[in-house]
Structure 1
C-alpha cells in the first residue's frame, strides 16, 4: 500500500478534523493586519480563506443537511461566497482586502462554530452529506495552498520583506545532468474512474493516443533558468508566443517572480540565497513555453504527464505536512516542490457532464483561457493530489509554486 492509499483510508471525521486544524495552524503566525491584506486581485486575504472554507461547509452541508441549523451570521455569506451564482450575491473579488471587519479572532470563532456543528451532525449524515464533506475537505486543502501562496505574495509586497515563518538553512543540491524517460506509445487511458474521490473535471476515463516522446527526469533548475536569462531569453521575441511576448513587454518581466538581482529569492522564510539546483518556481506558462523552445524541447501534454505518473505514489515527494515556511528543494520526485505546466488547455474530458446544482459550478465553468498543471507543490497538502488531478491557471499566472519539466518528441 502506498502512502496516498493509506491517507485516503483514514476515517472521514478524522480527516476533516486534521484538515481544519491544519488551516487554523497556518494562520498561527499572522496578525490581524497580515490576514487582512490583499496584494493583488488574484490573491485573497488570509482571513477570507479562513472564512470561505467555513462558509463552504456551512452553505453546502450544514444549511442543507442539518434541520434547524442557523448560520453563524446572516450577513457573512455575501462576504465569503467566492463565485457560486446559485448561492446568491457576493462581494467583488478585488474588494476582499477591504474587509477590516470581521476581525481575525471573530473569523476563528466562526470556524469553531462550524467545526462544532459538523462534529455533532456527522454521525447522522446520509451518503449525500458525507459526499459533500469529502468535497469540502478537498476544497479546503486547495485553499491551504492558496493561503500560503497568497501570504507569500502579501509579504513580498511589503518593503520590509518579512518572513512568514522560520525555516532551517537550505542544503544546496548537487548538480546533475538531466536524463530522459521514454514514454508509452500508442493507445492509453487517462482520466479517473472508480469510487475514490476525484473532482468532476477529472472524469470520465477515456482513451488517448500517445506519440513517441520522452519526459525529463527532473524539473528545470534555477541554474538552468539563469542560463536562459543570460542568453537573452527574456529579450528574444522568437522564443515567445505572441500573447506572452506582449505580456513580457507590458509587465517588464525579466526573471521569475520573487527573484532578486543579488542572487536571492523572496520566500515564506524571507529573503534566501537561491539554490542553483532547486527547481525554478513562480514562472508562468508563457515563460515555461519560451524556456522549452530555448532548450530545444517542449512542455509535456497532460496525457503524457498523466501516463508517466500512473505508477508513482502521489503522496511522495516534498509536499505540505504542517504549518511553516515551505519552498522547493532539489530532487527528482514527480510530485511535490512545484506544479508542472503542460502544453494542454483546460477543457472538458470527452463525456464530461457538469454536476447539477450550485456545487456543480466548482470546475466546469472555468474551462476557458486556462492551462493545465500536473503534480503537486511544496505547498500542496500531502495526499491531496493524484495522477489524474487537473490544476489550472491562466497562462500569465505565476504567484503559485509553478515550474517546468521538459518533454521532447522521439
Structure 2
C-alpha cells in the first residue's frame, strides 16, 4: 500500500487521506488470515465472498473517482467492471448476486494486485478538493463492506462442520446491564442529519415529526431474556407472531436465533459457550416483533430512538470494530456484543419503522444516486450500529435497513413502551 505523506496541510485533508489509507489497509488485513477458498465461498444469496468485497470496493474507487477525475488512468482489467459491479444499473451489466461465489478467477492475489494499483492511482486525487465528497462516500462505502465481510465470513465459517475460528481467542464475559426505562415526554422532534460532516443521503433532509410520550429500555434484550422466551413457548405461540412471520417459522423450522446450538453459539472465535448477560444477536425483525409482544412492550420507532439519542455521541468505548494501532488484527478484539449502558454499539437495533424516504428526499444525480434511494421499500430501519461496525458510523441519524427475515447481521432489539 502507498505510504506517502499527505500532500495537503489542513487538518481536514490530512484526516481524509489518513482515513482513506486506514480503511483500505483494514479491508486488506481482514483478508490475510483467509485461504483462497475462504475468500471465494458464498454461503447464501444474502452474503458475498470476502474476495468480492475486496474487489467491489476497489471497483468503486476505479469507477467513480479514477475514471472521471484521472484522465490518464486506464482500467486494470476490462472484465472487472462486469464482475464487481453490485447493483448500479447505470454502470451496465453485472454478474448476478447469487453467482458471486462462482467467480474463482481472478484469484485473491490478483484482486490484491488490483487494490494496490488503484491505491497508487488514488494518491493523486486525495488532495483534490473537487473529489473530497466522493472520497468521503467511498470511505464510508468501504467501511460498510468491512462490516459485511465480517458477518459474511462468519456465516460461511458457521456452515463448516469444523467450526473454524477467524480469531484464536475466547470471548470475555458481558457485564450485567442496568434495568429501567428512559422516559421521553413526546412533542415535536427534529429528525435526520443536522450536524456538519459526512452523512448518507438517506439520513436527510432533516424534518420535524410529532412523538407521543414513550419510554425506551435502558438495556438491550439479552441471551437470558431470549432463553426465557424460548422456554415459555415463544416460537410455538402463533398469537405472538405476524402472519408472514408464522409462515416463515414453519417453512424454515426456526426455533432460536441464528448460530444457537444447545448452550453454545457460533462466533468469529468458533463455537463458544453463550453468555446469558450478553445482548441477543442475529435475530430477524419477525423474531424481534414477536419477543416485544411476548414481553408486553413494542419496538421503538426510528424517530423515538433518534429523539433519545439526539445530542449524544457514540462514546469511544462503545463496542465497534476498531483494531489496534496500525490496523493489524493481532491484538484486535473480535466482533462481540458485550452489553453497555450506551445506545450505540453491540447490535443493530430493530425499529418498527419502515425504510422510506424522508419528506423532500431526492436521490443524488447519476449512478451514486442508486446507493440508497431505490431500496426504500419493504425493509425495516435499524439504529445504533453494532460490534462489527467500523467506528464513525455510530450517529443518531444513521439508518441501516434489512428485510423482515434477514438475521445474519449483528441484529438485536431494545424495547419501548407507551406512557
Q: TM-score, normalised by structure 2?
A: 0.93
1:17-73: CA deviation from partner (whole Å, max 9, x where unpaired): 011111111111101110000000000000000000000010000001111210111
SS in 1 for 2:388: coil
Aligned to 1:72: 76
Matched, 1:232 2:241: no
Preserved contact between residue 326 and residue 379 of structure 1 (Cα < 8 Å): yes
Give the distance between the partners of 2:350 and 2:393, measured in 1 at CA.
18
1:137 matched to which residue of 2? 139
**Hey, what does 2:6 align to over in structure 1?**
none
In structure 1, C-alpha distance between the alignment counterparts of 2:350 and 2:14, rounded to whole Å? 31
After TM superposition, the runs of 4+ consecutive aligned structure 1 residues lying more than 4 A away are: 7-10
Deviation at 1:366, TM superposition (A): 0.2
1:402 alignment partner in structure 2: 411
> Per the alignment, in what secondary structure is the counterpart of residue 225 of structure 2?
helix
Partner secondary structure for residue 94 of structure 2: coil
Alignment partner of 1:399: what SS? coil
SS of 1:33's partner is: helix
Q: Deviations over 1:160-214 (max 9, x none)?
A: 111111224422433x562101024111100113542110111100001110100
Match of 1:281 in 2: 281
User: CA 1:194–1:220 in 2, change beyond 3 Å: closer, same or farther?
Assistant: closer
SS in 1 for 2:101: helix
The answer to whether the 8 Å contact 1:345/1:371 transfers is yes
Q: 1:168 to 1:161 in 2, by over 3 A?
A: closer
Measured on the aligned residues, the alpha-carbon RMSD in Å equals 1.4
Residue in 2 that maps onto 1:346: 355
Instruction: Map Cα deviations across residues 200-233 of structure 1 (whole Å, 9 max, x no partner).
Output: 1111000011101000001000000000000000
Aligned to 2:123: 119
Q: Greater shift after overlay, 316-325 or 284-293?
A: 316-325
1:262-287 Cα offsets, whole Å, 9 max, x none, are x0100000000111000000000000
Task: Give the corresponding residue for 1:3.
Answer: none
Q: Mean Cα displacement is larger for which, 7-16 or 362-371? A: 7-16
Aligned equivalents of 2:246 and 2:357: distance in 1?
28
Q: Which residue of 2 aligns with 1:303?
A: 303
SS in 2 for 1:209: strand
Cα deviations by residue, 1:113-134 (Å, 9 ceiling, x for unpaired): 11111013323x242x211111
Separation of aligned partners in 1, 2:206 and 2:173: 41
- Cα distance in structure 2, aligned partners of 1:235 and 1:177: 30
Query: 1:23–1:50: 8 Å Cα contact kept in structure 2?
Result: yes
In structure 2, C-alpha distance between the alignment counterparts of 1:353 and 1:55, rounded to whole Å: 25
Going from structure 1 to structure 2, the CA distance change for 1:395 and 1:10 (only over 3 Å counts) comes to farther
Query: Structure 1 residues 247-256 or 165-174, which shifts more?
Result: 165-174
Superposition pairs of residues 183-262 of structure 1, within 5 angstroms: 183-261=184-262
Runs of at least 5 residues in structure 1 that lack an aligned partner in the other structure: 1-6
TM-score normalised by length of structure 1? 0.95
The answer (yes or no) to whether the contact 2:384–2:398 under 8 Å persists in 1 is yes
After superposition, the C-alpha distances for 1:319-369 in whole angstroms (9 at most, x for unaligned) are 010145211113222111100000000000011011110110000000011
**Partner residue, 2:5:** none
Residue 42 (str. 1) matches residue 43 (str. 2): no
Name 2:373's counterpart in structure 1: 364
Secondary structure in 2 aligned to 1:34?
Answer: helix
Distance in 2, matches of 1:377 and 1:342, equals 15
Number of aligned residue pairs: 400
SS of 2:182 mapped into structure 1? strand
Contact 1:192 1:203 in 2 (8 A): yes
Q: How many Å separate the matches in 1 of 2:314 and 2:340? A: 15
- Structure 1 counterpart SS, 2:227: helix
Partner of 2:386: 377
Is 1:292 the counterpart of 2:292 in the alignment?
Answer: yes
How far, CA to CA, are the matches of 2:161 and 2:76 in structure 1?
Answer: 37
Instruction: Give the alignment of 1:19-38 within 5 angstroms.
Output: 19-38=23-42
Q: Which of 1, 15, 21 does residue 19 from structure 2 map onto? A: 15
2:326 corresponds in structure 1 to none
Which of residues 162, 165, 177 is equivalent to 1:163? 165
Quick one: distance in 2 between partners of 1:195 and 1:59?
A: 27
Preserved CA contact (<8 Å) 1:184 1:307: no
Give distance in 2, aligned partners of 1:159 and 1:145: 24
SS at match of 1:11: helix
